[in-house]
Amino acid sequence: MMADKIRVLLNEEEVNKRISEIAAQISRDYEGKKVHLICILKGGVFFTCELAKRITVPVSLDFMSVSSYGSGTVSSGVVKIIKDLDEPLENEEVLIVEDIIDSGRTLAYLIEVLKQRNPKSIRLCTLLDKPERRVKKQVTVDYTCFTIPDEFVVGYGLDYDQKYRNLPYIGVIEQ
Ligand code: IMP
Ligand code: MG
């Protein structure tokens, strides 16, 4: 197997430092409340754990797995729920935790679906944002750790063909 060459974009220390800052901001914003984190599998799992450990208000966790419908290059924007949440969202202060917002199609659809379950509030937190790639302009991100250029990144939950999710940093595969 040929090893890919990976250039470090954001090292482990930088990522963890930034997650601590965002966790502190979330802890302030949700003072006196419980925050219900929804981890979007699989990519969001590393970020969700690191974030949750640093939030000081009460936290509950649930998990959801989604995939784009169809395999064409142009996504319809409709996502298929592979694994739904275990718990209802009624009266919850929901914070969706994603690895990356790219076109925004996944989140635009997901937010509409989750809103129908009557949460008290719904916000979005992402490790990475690639705003240059956004198609769904209505997706507003409440908490962003890093805004990055239009490059394909791996690590910290992000994969290339299911590989490299476990890298403790964020890197770019060199061509
Ligand atoms: P969106 O619906 O286009 O915003 O899709 C976001 C999803 O595409 C993410 O949850 C990732 O699974 C995947 N994705 C987008 N950009 C990257 C990348 O640079 N590396 C790895 N996965 C990516
Ligand atoms: Mg992926």
Q: Where are the domains of the chain?
A: 12-152
Task: Answer yes or no: are the C-beta atoms of 169 and 10 closer than 8 Å.
Answer: yes
**Cis? peptide before 17, omega within 30° of 0:** no
Lookup result for tokens 């064409």 = 72
pLDDT (tens digit, 9 = 90+) per residue, 33-87?
999 999 999 999 999 999 999 999 999 999 999 987 655 555 566 788 999 999 9
Pocket lining for ligand 1, CB < 6 angstroms: 43, 98-106, 152-153, 158
pTM: 0.94
C-alpha 9 – ligand 2 centre gap (Å): 18
pLDDT (tens digit, 9 = 90+) per residue, 120-158?
999 999 999 999 989 888 899 999 999 999 999 999 999
Lowest average pLDDT, out of 4-8, 20-24, 57-61, 66-70, goes to 66-70
C-alpha 18 – ligand 1 centre gap (Å): 20
Residues classed as catalytic: 102
- Domain 12-152 is found in CATH 3.20.20.80: no
What residues are paired with 95 via a beta bridge?
37, 123
Classify residue 32 as left (phi > 0), alpha (psi -120 to 50) or beta: left
**CA atoms of 59 and 92, how far apart (whole Å):** 11
